[in-house]
Structure 1
Amino acid sequence: MAVERYALGLNDRVTIAGVRYRPAGREGKANLLRQVVDDAVVETALSPLTDEEYARLREAKRIRIEEGYFSHAYQLLRDRADGGDLSDLHDLTDAELRDIAWKVEWCVRFRHAWKGIAGRASRLNKTPKDISNFIAAEKHAMLQWYVDTFGTTRPPGRREAGGSRKTFDYPGATTLLGWLNMLDAGDDRPGVLRRQYHKCGNREQLDPRARGIVDKHVRAFASAARPKVTDIHLRIAADLKLLNDRLSPAERVSVSERTVRRRIAKLPPILVDLAHLGHKRALLKYAPVGNGLVSLDGLTKLERMDRVEMDDWEMDLFAVLQNKHVRATLGANAKAEERRLRKNRVAVRCTVTVAIDVVTKCVVGLQVTPFAPSAAGSKSALRSIVVDKGPLVALAGAKSDWPMTARPTEIATDGGPAFQGDFHSTLGRLDIEHRLPGPDPRQRGTIESFFRNIKRLCRLYTGQSFSNVVERGEYRSEELASLLAEDVYLHLVRFIVDDYHHTSHAGLNGKRPYQAWHQAENNLAPPPDHFKRMLSFGLAVPNRFLAADGVTYLNSQYVHPLMGKLRGLVGGKPLVIVTDPDDMGTILVRVPSEFREQFPGDGSYLPFECQDLHDLTLAEVLQENREARRFARQERLAGYPFKLNALHDLMKEAEAARRRAGVPSDVISEEQFNRLVKAVERRGLVAVSKQAAPSGPPAPAGYGPGNLGTSVAAPPGRLPPAAVTRVVPGAEELLRPSDMDDEDGL
């Protein structure tokens, strides 16, 4: 016996033995199902439900089908139909059902006005004038009904006679009259209003004798030679001439260029782009980004700040770098560019590191630097997520606010070096999960798509770099650079706060990111307090010792009321301290785990203070140190952008403004910093130590180089020792001759 065929609707909810599914179409003799939990799809795998299985489950009463459950539009249409036949709507998506509900609502409202019922004061006629007046009076109320009902807006309409485009697709008088007539002829079944594009046009206009010739040459349009439409038409005309030579004048065949253009337009765009652009560019064009995740665990819906995506991007804009301290760290290429321009300036492309919340599309972290991507720059962007950005907004002159401050649940990045090392360790200290989705940018679709917005900002200024040299042409990007690099950061802050956050976002169904942030109802994890931020973003310095006068650090003494107790417990054991480059007045000293119970209420760290260094930055402490300048020069020659002066890369040189704005200056790594600390303190120890008095009789006056005999330290013919030993009271160290020089470094 033949089994009854039953096609499930795309918006039905199917329950089998307590497990719920959503149909995903039909293939052969089976309906395809996806499992859902809390109405959210949790499985991408398709489970087939054959007609035989459906019949068996229905007979056993183990299957329940709720028609149109996942479509609010279907439920509205079912209520309008009042039990009528909706079988011709089962294969439509929710978007297509919303279109039909939109048309039905227009018809229902006009019928009320036509009959003078439902609160309508006067009756209308089915004339073009009355229908046009009705549409003009009702269109805004209809749009508000649609937004309130479905939570989204209508797409833009067609261009009107004056050339301007309709703000949304409200119908014209003729269109609305056509909908009314279709409902009248179809016994008010909503299905008569579904689109019938597949029936449009006469598809047999082309002469069958010419179809093979046309199809062959139209397919050749997808060629690496990139032929023009006129070339294809001429090739078709040449082959048709051979055909027409064998036919009588009355039977000859012709094909217009317009017909050729229409058929070329029907070629799959990916096929044409594969031939014209190549495999790599076609792949980037058709697989750029995805929509991001909707759940972290597959069960719980993603909420605000549950997932933040971070990435860096080199701006498509050259900016003028005038800060002499920063220019000195950019290396030989920048100096050569400066000489080429013959001006006291150099043009650079800044690196922007952005953090964006996946759910609300709000930018929650930002960092801009003229250097290449680095873990230090990523740490600064991470720090901006958890600090108050109000002072920075005021400094940038933005009119709106930037309240997006919280501790994310997880941060997703790529596997590049800028998001490893110090950055990864900092996430661990903040109790934030680090997610590495892989190299596929579609797995970080939110952040990848955001950089298109920054390109819009770049286009406002001269000096664009463009995406390639062909597009750039003869445009002299470096010489036309006009925006100061010191101002890029503030301009970008204002663009994000006043423009991007208040622009409708397609990923939010037309809502603004700022609006989505404030409408979210989930509770946010509070940002870390001052000491937690210091532990996370400060610089750890190992092998510090607690003496009777406190902890010595950069030749300064740090003290704490309980340091005597701590010294009595740890003795001469080395300790680890944490410093804050923005305020050198306080350091945190880690208490060994076995002694922490002796300091109840103080946690794992004790804050040691140095009153003389309060409110001083690392830059101000080190800027007069000759050894620090020497170290900076060595780092620069080694290719490391070690920014010892610690000014923010793209802020004006006013350090007070930087502090008021809360802009972080810790743009150095712990490894670089600890090497510097060793060099500075070693020099400081030598400088303050008492030198040993000379001993032995003085050398005769006639003695000089070459008269003191042969060294017994190295046999003749061997190189001299690479280092000499200097002994000072209380310290012994091995110094290379280069360290003994009196150069001023930078």
Structure 2
Amino acid sequence: MEDGNKTRWYLTAAICTTTRCILAMKFSRAESSRSAVQAIDMIVRDKGLWTDAVGTLTPWSMSGTPELIVTDAGSGFTDFDTRAAATDLGINIIAGPAGMPEFRGTMERMFGTLASSFISRFTGRTFSNTVVKGDYDSDARAALTSEELSEALVRWVVDVYHRRPHAGLGGETPLNCWNRLVEKYGVAPMPCLERRRMALGTRMKYTVTKKGISILGIRYHSEALAHWFMHARKTEVRVRWYSDDLGAIAVELDGRWVEIPSVLACYRGRCAQTWLMAEREIRASRAAEAKVGEEIIAKTMNHIVAMNGNAMTRQKLFVPDYSAERLQSLNEKMLIGFEIEDSPRDPIVPSGDDGLGMDLPTGHPRSARSSAAGTDSTEEAAAYGLPNPDDDWSIEDK
């Protein structure tokens, strides 16, 4: 149940066929490429944050980059975004024949164990067919909330399934099998944050302005983006936006992908869910203010994480909709009239005297005004990361 209404959830899961360890679980309202991509994201990451949130007695450290992922023929796995995400991480992905579950026997058997050993303990369960269901009224008996289901499932997988002797492993537990083989052979390392952002982030296009790129009210800018904007004929660029870290985005500039940080440092390491909750709280409490500063944003997000961190982590088992279409909708509707005040420190690029563009340094002597004020053009260039005006340089090599 969710908000008092009965709902049906679909589970996307991944299992290691060698050790029988569960590597990913994601709940979604319907099969989609988002659930498949986020399941891949969970495969390659350490899952300690989920176990900490629900208080398991056993670690869930199984992670790494697999060589091959075999899926069913569902639309979520055959979608271009899913296959592109796996390929970008260096993972081969293939789909088994449709209508032949025996080709995915390990995963199908795990779902059977999940149904008989876990789901059967709760009221409101569904059945594989109407003959098995009989006159059991699943809708009338549904009582478990989605958050309770996710917490119970993590506890069962980590503390029960992984620690129980498995017939397919000759009586060894999946946990012991994983630890033994990792100690003997090792495991392919997890991809870094930058690579996950590129491979798993939402793919969209944005227009660059003199203020940079703004997504969900967060402004992203850098010296590299400013210099590109000065000479660009077309200002629309391809972007990768990763919901688990709002501290930067990946932008394609002249065929090369560049990491562009957020102007405000308080977004680094923060997920989209935390920021959207903070935005609602700030809007409600400071409706009369035209702009909100970095300190207020940082304190609000820290408060939300401290107060509701475990609950938000448990919700990470559910697939949020951060598609390009929804992000566009949030930009247009949710953040209307909500402006974030940039810190007066560390400007990206100094403006020209007319407020437009920037004054490029030249080899001419400093003006009398700058000399009288004691301003060193070399120091000024260094402060903004600009070329030394006393050096020979050109646009091409800078």
Q: Is the TM value for this pair above 0.5?
A: yes
1:362–1:514 Cα contact (<8 Å) kept: yes
Map of 1:379 onto structure 2: 37
**Aligned residue among 105, 111, 136 for 1:475:** 136
Residue of structure 2 aligned with 1:667, choices 313, 316, 320: 320
> 1:554: Cα distance to partner?
4.3
In the TM superposition, 1:590-601 aligns within 5 A as 590-593=252-255, 596=256
Which contiguous aligned blocks of 4+ residues in structure 1 show a shift greater than 4 angstroms? 621-626, 658-662, 677-685
**1:437 Cα shift?**
2.1
Aligned-partner SS, 1:347: coil
Which residue number corresponds to residue 492 of structure 1?
153
Aligned to 1:409: 67
Q: Which runs of 5+ in 2 are unaligned?
A: 284-306, 339-398
Amino acid at match of 1:400: T
Q: SS in structure 2 opposite 1:459?
A: helix
1:406 CA drift (Å): 0.3
Equivalent of 2:177, from 493, 501, 516?
516
* Contact 1:390–1:661 (CA under 8 A) maintained in structure 2: no
Could you say if the C-alpha distance between residues 589 and 677 of structure 1 is closer, same or farther in structure 2, counting changes exceeding 3 Å?
A: farther
> How far off is 1:468 after superposition?
2.9
Question: Against the structure 1 CA distance between its residues 495 and 554, is the aligned structure 2 distance closer, same or farther, given a 3 Å change threshold?
Answer: closer
Aligned to 1:534: 197
Q: Is the 8 A contact 1:398 1:494 kept in 2?
A: yes
Is the Cα contact below 8 Å between 1:367 and 1:489 reproduced in 2? no
Matched, 1:459 2:117: no
Counterpart-to-counterpart distance in 1, 2:102 and 2:113:
17
Match of 2:162 among 472, 497, 501: 501
What is the deviation of 1:467? 3.0
Displacement of 1:605 after TM fit? 1.5
* Distance in 2 of aligned mates of 1:621 and 1:420: 36
Report the CA distance between 1:669 and its aligned residue. Answer: 5.5
Q: Deviations over 1:319-349 (max 9, x none)?
A: xx133xxxxxxxxxxxxxxxxxxxxx23333
Once the two structures are TM-superposed, the CA of residue 394 in structure 1 deviates from its matched residue by 1.8
Q: Cα deviation per residue 1:18-75 (whole Å; 9 max; x = unaligned)?
A: xxxxxxxxxxxxxxxxxxxxxxxxxxxxxxxxxxxxxxxxxxxxxxxxxxxxxxxxxx
SS of the equivalent of 1:667 reads coil
Query: How many angstroms apart in 2 are the aligned matches of 1:484 and 1:666?
Result: 16
In structure 2, relative to structure 1, the CA distance for the partners of 1:469 and 1:681 (3 Å cut) is closer
Residues 581 and 665 of structure 1 are in contact (CA less than 8 Å); yes or no, is this contact kept in structure 2? no
2:245 and 2:271 in contact (8 A); partners too:
yes
Q: Could you say which residue in structure 1 is the equivalent of 2:242?
A: 580
Aligned sequence identity (%): 25
1:347 aligns with 2:6: yes
Which residue of structure 2 aligns with residue 360 of structure 1?
Answer: 19
Aligned length: 306
- Mapped to 2, the partners of 1:658 and 1:538 lie a distance apart of 23
Q: State the distance in 2 between where 1:681 and 1:472 align.
A: 44
RCO greater where, 1 or 2, for CA within 8 Å and sep 6 or more?
2
- Does residue 1:608 correspond to 2:261, yes or no? yes
For the pair shown, which has the larger CA radius of gyration, 1 or 2?
1
1:548 equivalenced with 2:210 (yes/no): yes
| Cα distance between partner residues in 2 of 1:480 and 1:548 | 57
Residues in 1 aligned to 2:66 and 2:244: alpha-carbon distance in whole angstroms: 24
Q: Distance in 1 between matches of 2:146 and 2:330?
A: 30
Q: For the residues of structure 2 that align with 1:526 and 1:680, how far apart are their CA atoms?
A: 40
The CA deviation at 1:454 is 0.8
Trace 1:56-455 onto structure 2 (pairs within 5 A).
Answer: 321-323=1-3, 345-369=4-28, 371-421=29-79, 422-439=81-98, 440-455=100-115
Structure 1 contact 538–581 (Cα < 8 Å) conserved: yes
Cα distance change of structure 1 residues 468 and 664 upon mapping to structure 2, 3 Å threshold: closer
Contact conserved, 1:367 with 1:381, CA < 8 A, in 2?
yes
TM-aligned CA deviation for residue 522 of structure 1: 2.1
Q: Tell me, what secondary structure is at the counterpart of 1:542?
A: strand
Deviation by residue 1:670-703 (Cα, 9 ceiling, x = unmatched):
3433552674599779xxxxxxxxxxxxxxxxxx
Aligned partners of 1:664 and 1:464: how far apart in 2? 19
CA spacing shift, 1:670–1:484, aligned 2, 3 Å: closer
Q: Which residue of 1 aligns with 2:352?
A: none
Q: 1:403 to 1:682 in 2, by over 3 A?
A: closer
2:118 match: secondary structure: helix
The alpha-carbon deviation at position 354 of structure 1 amounts to 0.9
Secondary structure of the residue aligned to 1:548 is: coil
Partner-residue secondary structure (3-state), 1:349:
coil
**CA distance in 2: counterparts of 1:669 and 1:420, whole angstroms:** 19
Instruction: Please list the CA deviations of residues 517-575 of structure 1 after superposition, one character each: whole Å capped at 9, or x if unmatched.
Output: 11212231111111111122221221422x33322344543221333333345354321
Cα shift readout 1:449-480 (whole Å, capped 9, x = no counterpart) = 11111111012122232333333333332222
Supply the distance in 2 between the matched residues of 1:665 and 1:529 (Cα, whole angstroms). 23
Q: Report SS of the residue matched to 1:676.
A: helix
Q: Return the offset for 1:625.
A: 12
Residue matched to 2:351: none
CA distance in 2, matches of 1:387, 1:662: 16
Give, in angstroms, the shift of residue 416 of structure 1. Answer: 1.1
- C-alpha offsets along residues 273-294 of structure 1, whole Å, 9 cap, x if unaligned? xxxxxxxxxxxxxxxxxxxxxx
For residues 718-737 of structure 1, what are the structure 2 equivalents within 5 Å?
none
With structure 1 as the length reference, what TM-score do the two structures score? 0.38
| 1:558 equivalent in structure 2 | 220
Which stretch of the first structure deviates more once superposed, 575-584 or 399-408? 575-584
Residue 367 of structure 1: SS of its match in structure 2? strand
2:310 is aligned, of 657, 661, 666, to: 657
**Structure 2 contact 70–94 (Cα < 8 Å) conserved:** yes
Residue 106 of structure 2 aligns with an amino acid whose one-letter code is T
The alignment partner of 1:404 has SS state of coil
- Residue-by-residue CA offset, 1:700-719 (whole Å, 9 max, x unaligned): xxxxxxxxxxxxxxxxxxxx
Query: What code does the residue aligned with 2:2 have?
Result: Q
| 1:611 Cα deviation after fit | 0.8
Shift of residue 661, structure 1, vs aligned partner: 6.4
Mark the CA change 1:481 to 1:555 in structure 2 (over 3 Å): closer, same or farther: closer
Q: Which amino acid aligns with 1:580?
A: Y
2:367 aligns to what? none
CA separation of 1:591 and 1:388: change in aligned 2, threshold 3 A: same
CA distance in 1, matches of 2:11, 2:43: 15
Residues 484-541 of structure 1, C-alpha deviations (whole Å, 9 max, x = no match): 2221111111111111111121211221111111121223111111111112222122
- Note the C-alpha offset of 1:660: 5.4
TM-superposition CA deviations, 1:180-200 (whole Å, max 9, x none)? xxxxxxxxxxxxxxxxxxxxx
- Are the equivalent residues in 1 in contact too, given 2:118–2:156 (CA < 8 A)? yes
Which amino acid in structure 2 is aligned with residue 429 of structure 1?
D
In structure 1, the partner of 2:346 is none
The residue matched to 2:160 in structure 1 has which SS? helix
Residues 412 and 436 in structure 1, CA contact (< 8 A), matched pair in contact too: yes
Q: Which whole-Å CA distance do the structure 1 matches of 2:330 and 2:48 have between them?
A: 34
Give the alignment partner of residue 617 of structure 1, picking from 272, 290, 293: 272
2-structure distance, mates of 1:460, 1:383: 29
* Other-structure match for 2:355: none
Q: 1:556 to 1:396 in 2, by over 3 A?
A: closer
Q: Tell me the SS of whatever aligns to 2:185.
A: coil
Q: For the aligned residues, what is the CA RMSD?
A: 3.0
510 and 434 in structure 1: CA distance in 2 versus 1, 3 angstrom threshold: same
